[in-house]
Amino acid sequence: MNPAGCPEEVKEKDTRERKSPAMQISTTSVKPLAAITSTTIISLAVGLASLSSGFYIIFQNLFYIPIILACIFYIRRGLLFSIILSFTYLGMLLLYAGYDHLLNGLVRVLIFITVAAVITLLAERAWRNEEELRKNYEGLAFTEEELRSQLEELVITQQALKEENERKSDFVMVAAHELRTPLQPVLGYLSLLTADPEGFGLSDETLEILRKCETNIQTERRIVDRMLELSVADSGKLSPVLVEIPLYQLVEDVITLSGYQRDATIRDEIPPSVIVQGDPILLSHAFNNIIENAIRYNEPPREVSIRYIPGERWHEITVADNGIGIAAPLKKRIFEPFHIADQHELTREYNRMGLGLPLADRYVRLHGGEITVESTPGRGSSFTIRLPREEKQ
């Protein structure tokens, strides 16, 4: 099978059909040659008979047919043949009719040659146009084959990338589960020890060490949880369960449960009456990641404002901060997993993995929405979440 899915016989048939008429004539040139030869012999025979009978008018008009045929099929060689045939006509005329008809004979020869030259010129131009068309056709055929080949390679590459992405998602999911499993009992034992240090006879120094271990393991678990969330979101197996959500209350719950008021001044300006269609869990994660990002990249005095703008098609929620901002070349990459905008100036104080914004973007897109960002370095950033007003079909 060829790249387009057609049998090889069809390709051979297409190749045969691409031959131009000029090429086909060259392979069957016996037919025009036989026609020219037969008409020439007939013209000479009938001409001799007419000259013998004194019918010169018939003789004069007999040679047009072989001349025209020769110039059409053989072009310049046909023109040479026409000149020879014209002077043959003149010789026969002078031989049978005498030199009294020399002037008429020369005029007739000139007419023959002129007709032959005009037909030759037209035939040559037609042949050139045909040759140009043939070359263009062959070029288009080559381009078509090349495009088919490239399309096949693209399909193969796309399939390979899809399979590779599935393998990556499966690996991340399995790895996250395997990493998460041993963390649970460790956290359980540490919580048990730190909850009753006197009962276990722990000194203050040991208790502080255990609490640091507990904090770091909690951080590790959150990272693993986010990696797991990302793999599930990218697998295409996650579908939001849409219900009516009071947007103001959802955002307030995110702020309160995460304790963000301790880290920044947050102004929630969403009207209490706003209702959106969405998955409460996924949207909570999305808003949590956006607000957390606004606080972490903020600078004193840390201020975050959350505003709502109604539209005909969208609910627009903007989360703005007065932080360090994002450089223009980096704005397109902030939603890529594990990408950190200031990675070249990275200090570990933020404890970041670059997964918060990618997860928020994926959860919003699952609702048929989008997240856009406007930012000026040194003046802060504004992230706008757009959610469709109607339920996604």
Domain-ending residue, one of 191, 213, 234: 234
Kindly state whether residue 383 falls inside one of the protein's structural domains: yes
Are 40 and 149 found together in one domain? yes
DSSP string, 43-62: HHHHHHHHHHHT-HHHHHTS
Kindly state whether residue 393 falls inside one of the protein's structural domains: no
CA-wise closest residue to 382 among 293, 301, 310: 293
* Measured distance CA(336)–CA(347) in Å, rounded: 20
Contacts of 223 (CB under 8 A, 6+ apart): 353, 355
Domain-ending residue, one of 187, 213, 234: 234
- Residue 369 sits in a domain whose CATH number is 3.30.565.10
- The residues facing 80 across adjacent strands are none
Are 258 and 224 found together in one domain? no
Are 247 and 348 found together in one domain? yes
Are 260 and 184 found together in one domain? no
Instruction: Give the H/E segment covering residue 372.
Output: strand 370-376
* pTM given for the model: 0.53
Are 88 and 226 found together in one domain? no
Are 140 and 67 found together in one domain? yes
Output the pLDDT for position 339: 66
* Measured distance CA(352)–CA(124) in Å, rounded: 76
Are 355 and 250 found together in one domain? yes
Domain-ending residue, one of 234, 267, 302: 234
Output the pLDDT for position 343: 52
280 burial class (0-12, 13-18, 19+ CB within 10 angstroms)? middle
Are 217 and 282 found together in one domain? no
Are 213 and 282 found together in one domain? no
Token pair listed for 81: 């043949």
Kindly state whether residue 92 falls inside one of the protein's structural domains: yes
> What b/e string do you get for 123-157 counting C-beta neighbours within 10 Å, with b at 16 or more?
beeebeeeeeebeeeeeeeeeeeeeeeeeeeeeee
* Measured distance CA(97)–CA(172) in Å, rounded: 106
Kindly state whether residue 75 falls inside one of the protein's structural domains: yes
Are 12 and 142 found together in one domain? yes
Kindly state whether residue 169 falls inside one of the protein's structural domains: no
Rg (CA), the chain: 45
Kindly state whether residue 324 falls inside one of the protein's structural domains: yes
Output the pLDDT for position 383: 95
Are 43 and 140 found together in one domain? yes
Kindly state whether residue 2 falls inside one of the protein's structural domains: no
Output the pLDDT for position 173: 66
pLDDT in tens, the chain (393 residues): 444 444 444 344 444 444 444 444 443 456 778 888 888 888 788 877 777 776 666 666 777 888 888 888 888 888 888 888 888 878 887 877 778 778 877 888 888 888 888 888 888 888 888 888 888 888 787 787 888 888 888 888 888 887 777 776 666 667 666 766 777 788 888 888 888 888 888 888 888 888 888 888 887 777 777 777 777 777 777 788 899 999 999 999 999 998 898 889 999 999 999 999 999 999 999 999 999 989 988 888 889 999 999 888 899 999 999 888 888 878 878 888 776 655 545 444 445 567 888 889 999 999 999 999 999 888 899 999 999 987 544
* Measured distance CA(153)–CA(151) in Å, rounded: 5
Are 217 and 90 found together in one domain? no
- C-alpha count within 13 angstroms, C-beta hemisphere, residue 306: 27
Domain count, the chain: 3
Residue-range definition of the domain harbouring residue 139:
8-156
Output the pLDDT for position 59: 67
Contacts of 275 (CB under 8 A, 6+ apart): 244, 245, 246, 247
Kindly state whether residue 22 falls inside one of the protein's structural domains: yes
